[in-house]
Structure 1
Amino acid sequence: MSRHAPLLWTFVVTSLAAFMVSLDNLVVSTALPSIRADLGAGLEGLEWTVNAYTLTFGVLLLTGAALGERYGRRRTLVAGLALFTVSSALAALAPGIGALVAARAAQGVGAALVMPLTLTILSAAVPPQRRGAALGVWGAVTGIAIAVGPLVGGAVVEGWAWQWIFWLNVPIGLVLVPVALLRLPEQRTSGRRALDLPGLALATLGLVGLVLGLVRGNGHGWTSAGVLGSLAAGALLLLAFVAWEARTAEPMVPLGMFRSRGYTAANVLSLLFSFGVFGSIFLLAQFLQTVQGSSPFEAGLKTLPWTAMPLLVAPVAGPLSDRVGGRPLLLVGLVLQAAGLGWFAATLSTSVSYAAQVPAFVLAGIGMGLVFVPLASVVLGAADPAYAGVASGTNTTFREIGGVFGVAVLGTVFSSTGGYGSPQAFVDGIVPALWVGVAVVLAAAACAVLLPGRRATAVVPVGEPVLAA
């Protein structure tokens, strides 16, 4: 066997695993109208179909990484792949919206075990002089998955049925699990990080409480005991989480990192950016089908100028970021993103043509590319190198949670001013929701102003693991 074979297998397994879990972030977006019709789901059910995945994924990312260090990276990756595969099958077999939401939550748990370990396993397996190129390809693979998610979802729904967006994961998982067991060496680091189970429980329950209150507010009344109780409980649990993290010896999120103005601003920026973007995509993907009569595949194809644009921008934005620093690119990218959403909000109607929407898609796509590329460097440059892994994972968590709140809040604005009753009702709901998205993205741009200016950043070395049979 070639001496390069183990590295090749590592690259194939980690890249395919990352592609699969990244695809499920947006693959469901163009299937939402079909799920609504087939399962009789309302807006709340559709919101949880999206949020159940991103919420568990975002909250458990750091725990997934810690489990890999404690029990072995390969073992934890395989467990995550198995859970993701089984829960994908359960999602495809779901008889109602409740079962689908539960399966999506289990998918998110599996994804949280898989995603961070694909990066650490690949980083540790690649020689330092080739690590940058390997991680660049890994990043491109995950970027492609996000870009083609709506297109793949639309094609599958139109060609077969919405259940097949989940069935497609099953054969991939059934192949990856034995290949990972047979071809990947086990990796353990010399020091094993303790699990912060109280912190995990407080953060998870607090976020679920807030999202539950936001999602149910319009339907049950904002002053109802259930909604107010959920919001209050969520807020109190998150305050308890902060208090616990400040005093525990092994925190899930070391709060000392937030003493850095740049690190704090970058994380708030990530949350607000995802809030505006993913909340808007949730509604715009449905607008193309519900109001304009596009098929699921056509809707996915029409969103490509937005979702695929980062792939064209990245090769330019990367070198430019090294020259001028991340702050200018982030500021310009967020302003362009807000301009794109504002274009939609100002022009959407029951009769608007797709050609009139293309400039908005392109502006938003260029803006997204200018944010995605420099953000990781800005986060790592503002954090203590000793906490590079935790800093990156925390930022990813902020980004995922931002998407959860974006879907919940923009969905709430949509349902309070419009609905699914008619094309005009949908337009009446989506327009004010998009203006909220514009305001949130502009707030993210204000955070970009607070970032430190250009400075030299050193590459943070990845510790070599101890290999185990």
Structure 2
Amino acid sequence: MAGAGTSSALRAVLVPLALAQFLCTFAGSNMNVMINDISTDLGTTVQGVQVTITIFLLVMAALMIPGGTVTDRYGRKRCFMAGLAVYGVGAVLSAVSPGLGVLILGNSILEGLGTAMLIPPVYILATLLFTELTTRARAFGAIMAMGGIGAAAGPLIGGLITAMLSWRAAFVFQALVALLIILLGRRIKDPLPPDPTHPFDLGGAVLSAVGLFLLVTGILAADNDIVLMLALLALGVLVLLWFFRWIHAKDKAGGEPLVSPSVFGNRTSNLGLATQNIQWLLLMGTSFTVAAYLQVVRGYTAIQTGVIFTAATLGLLVSSLAAERLAKRRAQRTLIVVGFVLTIVGIGVLLAMVGASPNPWAFAPGLLLIGLGLGVMLTPSVNVVQSSFGEQQQGEISGLSRSVSNLGSALGTAIAGTILVADPTSRAYIAAMITLAAIGLAGLIAATFLPRGVAPTPHDSG
């Protein structure tokens, strides 16, 4: 790390960054085990909770690209700390919400906005501060591992807190973690000064956000009105096409678009982004599907549901701890391909075992394989994308990368939730899992097109 001489200094920087990623992915999955509790307490439905979760993920996805670009204007550390503060306020508001509307404001809007502000700086700071190949690989590995663990352990931690205290206490927990990160983050030093004159493409930000919002909203409308769904999806595609025309025109005119068109011209990065999107779609889609099935169809409590998810958490822990060693021995393409294979097999085992046994632990083998598979490939996909560009483009590629990942999370919850809510039975659960397996197969195909020469460790693109 530039300007840092000791391993303790490296850890002091890495701990708050990794904790921040843990917090945000935890927030995206821990509500899955609170479906019945929140529905009963706030007088809403399973669909109401699903919409709350999806809007949270969607706000992150829609605002992540602008969140990455404004870091140059206001400073990476300043955006990181401001995002944590907004997130903490949203968590407190969620904890005291009297109804679904306030919960959506606190959790979906404010926590989603805070996440979009704080996550891009995490990856930009990791790229700029950890300049050596080995330390950068370790930094990305630790951050992505904590992100995966947060998503996988969210149901267990959320279930424990809900069972012992209340679902509201889970949001108090998030607020306290945000405060802890703010305290630890004071030691971070921004390697580059903010540039107040750096332009911000408001038009591009609006178009990208509206386009993504329409796409996910279209999927959510599938269980109510097919015509409305098709109309929203078509409109979303048109707005995103408008966005791409906008940034090309702005770039051609000599301006600075929200995202440089050149970012989309890197084939390796595009394939990496596709695998990232599908990985998080599988993680959040599986988490929501299994959690909803256990609570709505089988009537399990939050703690029972959370305990069953320990298998996925264990898988992620094991593969994440081995990630650095694997990255030194195997090409990133190989790890991503193996990860998709393990995940798809895990979904198959999940379907086979659950259909054959009423025992709740029949979920364990499949969830374990899914956790192992996702843990193996999360970090290599980020490395492929981030290392495809130099330092000058780290802000926009970090925002784009996180936006694509969070869009995957939103799509996973929206697709799985739409299938389940339309017909909350075992048949719907099977249909949702088969759909996720098919999407996982598409990710596997994309991974096979990654160049074989992608190095085992990330390139020093500075």
TM-score range normalised by the length of the shorter chain = 0.7 to 0.9
Give the direction of change, closer, same or farther, for the CA distance of 1:179–1:382 in structure 2 (3 Å limit).
closer
After superposition, the C-alpha distances for 1:159-184 in whole angstroms (9 at most, x for unaligned) are 11111111122334445546656x55
Counterparts in 2 of 1:127 and 1:345: CA distance versus 1, 3 Å: closer
Partner of 1:422: none
Deviations 1:275-295 (A, max 9, x none): 233222111012223333433
Query: What is the distance in 2 between the residues matched to 1:21 and 1:120?
Result: 17
Once the two structures are overlaid, the 10-residue window that deviates more, 89-98 or 450-459, is 450-459
Higher mean alpha-carbon deviation, 75-84 vs 228-237, is at 228-237
Given that 1:318 and 1:373 are in contact with CA atoms closer than 8 Å, whether structure 2 keeps it comes out as: no
CA distance in 1 between counterparts of 2:43 and 2:356 reads: 24
Deviation by residue 1:250-304 (Cα, 9 ceiling, x = unmatched): 2323232333332222222222332233222111012223333433122112112
Offset of residue 353 of structure 1: 1.5
Query: In the superposition, relative to structure 1, how do residues 71 and 261 fare at CA in structure 2: closer, same or farther (>3 Å)?
Result: closer
8 Å Cα contact 1:292/1:350 also seen in 2? no
Deviation of the 1:411 alpha carbon: 2.0
What's the TM-score once normalised by structure 2's chain length?
0.87
Identity of aligned residues (%): 27
For 2:397, which of 381, 391, 395 is the aligned residue?
Answer: 391
Letter in 1 for 2:435: V
How is 1:243-322 mapped onto 2 (pairs within 5 angstroms)? 243-249=245-251, 250-322=256-328
Distance in 2 of aligned mates of 1:146 and 1:415? 22
Residue number among 378, 383, 401 corresponding to 1:377 in the alignment: 383
What is the CA-CA distance between 1:187 and the residue it aligns to?
A: 5.5
Determine the C-alpha separation between the residues in 2 that align with 1:121 and 1:52: 27
C-alpha contact (below 8 Å) 1:74/1:187 kept by paired residues: no
The one-letter code of the counterpart of 2:459 is V
Matched, 1:58 2:65: no
Q: Structure 1 residues 353, 361: CA separation in 2 closer, same or farther (over 3 Å shift)?
A: same
1:264 to 1:40, Cα distance in 2 relative to 1, 3 A: same
Residues 398 and 120 of structure 1: is their aligned pair in 2 closer, same or farther, counting only changes over 3 Å?
closer
RMSD value, Cα: 3.0
| 1:148 aligns with one of 124, 143, 153 | 153
2:98 counterpart letter in structure 1: P
SS state at 2:358 partner: coil
> Are the counterparts in 2 of residues 52 and 102 from structure 1 also a CA contact under 8 Å?
no
Q: Which residue of 2 aligns with 1:46?
A: 49
Query: 1:414 pairs with 392, 395, 420, which one?
Result: 420
Residue 126 (structure 1) shift: 6.0
1:115 aligned to which of 111, 119, 127: 119
Matches within 5 A, 1:101-112: 101-103=104-106, 104-112=108-116
Aligned residue identity for 1:217: A
What does 1:19-418 correspond to in 2, within 5 Å? 19-103=22-106, 104-121=108-125, 124=128, 128=132, 132-134=137-139, 136-174=141-179, 176-177=181-182, 180=185, 183-185=187-189, 188-189=192-193, 193-219=198-224, 221-223=225-227, 226-249=228-251, 250-349=256-355, 352-383=358-389, 387-416=393-422, 418=423
User: Contact 2:137–2:458 at 8 Å: present in 1 too?
Assistant: no
User: In the comparison of the two structures, how many residue pairs are matched?
Assistant: 450
Q: 1:159 to 1:17 in 2, by over 3 A?
A: same
Between the aligned partners of 1:198 and 1:453, the Cα distance in structure 2 is 38
CA contact (8 A) 1:43 1:411 kept: no
Query: Does the CA-based 8 Å contact 1:261-1:450 persist in structure 2?
Result: no
Change (3 A) 1:322 1:351: closer
Post-superposition offset of 1:427:
0.9
SS at 1:433 equivalent: helix
Which letter maps to 2:414? A
Distance 1:267 1:118 in 2: 18
